[in-house]
Amino acid sequence: MSLPVHLAPLPDGVAAGSVVEVTGDEAHHAVAVRRLRVGEQVVLTDGRGTAVTGAVEEVGKRAFSVRVADVRREQAPEPELVVVQALPKGDRGELAVEVLTEVGVARIVPWAAARCVAVWKGERAEKSLGRWRATAREAGKQARRVWSAEVDPLARTPEVVSLVEGAAAAYVLHEAATEPLAGRAVPERGRIVLVVGPEGGLTDEEVASLAAAGARPVRLGTEVLRTSTAGVAAAAALLSRTARWA
């Protein structure tokens, strides 16, 4: 069975024999909910490529400490996969974020597309973004990720176009596209951007802007998937053709 993973800042120069203290909400959840105990083996990661393994030395109400036995450092996975996810309605956005994080997406960009049913404004926008980020955090721990998935602030179409322009490869899922995503070559390095539209579909103007910026309109198959599942299916198809899933 895999060891439990906790996200925590790690000190510079952390090495075997170091003691790392974890505090705040992360520690409270581990102690009060998971019932962490002295002597239990755990993994701590900073979410930026460093992970340590060790035994719990002390446990308090909102803190615990770990004696480091092993340190592991990993380079960021290549290629970097970024998914631009149009806002789904209800809690389907969090479902999309959860599974995208678990399959290995590096970055998720919430997108206010023209035909989105959901609208993020004011306090609702702040709370919704907070839920997406919390979902990515927990899903990353579940997936034993050493590099955490990032969730960007809400993007408008011009920002998505700029993101596509700087990509090594970019694809936009579109049910009317004639080219299939299956079988396409995937770059070994750099950033791949995958754009997923809303329940109401993409507008002609959005497709034209993204295509002009370098995104290739592609389809997954004859079935029309929900926006919350289309990105996951497409991300898995792309990752399966990289060395990351070899």
| Three-class SS state of 52 | strand
Query: Mind listing the domains of the chain with CATH numbers?
Result: 5-73 (2.40.240.20), 80-245 (3.40.1280.10)
pLDDT tens for 107-116 read 999 999 999 9
Give 223's pLDDT tier (boundaries 50, 70, 90): confident
pLDDT (tens digit per residue) in 51-85: 999 999 999 989 999 999 999 999 999 999 999 99
Say what the pLDDT of residue 1 is. Answer: 67
Which positions ≥6 away from 100 have C-beta within 8 Å? 83, 85, 108, 149, 231, 232, 235
Q: At what angle do helices 92-103 and 227-239 cross, to 10 degrees?
A: 10
Q: Using DSSP, state whether 211 is helix, strand or coil.
A: helix
Query: Residues 5, 37: contact at Cβ < 8 Å?
Result: no
Q: Rg of the chain's alpha carbons, rounded to an integer?
A: 20
The pLDDT tens digits for 86-120 are 999 989 999 999 999 999 999 999 999 999 999 99
Asked whether the beta carbons of 61 and 49 are under 8 A apart, the reply is no
Cβ atoms 220, 233 nearer than 8 A:
yes
Question: Tens of pLDDT along 112-159?
Answer: 999 999 999 999 999 999 999 999 999 999 999 999 999 999 999 999
Q: How many helices (H) and strands (E) does the chain have?
A: 6, 11
Task: Enter the tokens of residue 244.
Answer: 């990351």
pTM of the predicted structure, to 2 decimals: 0.94
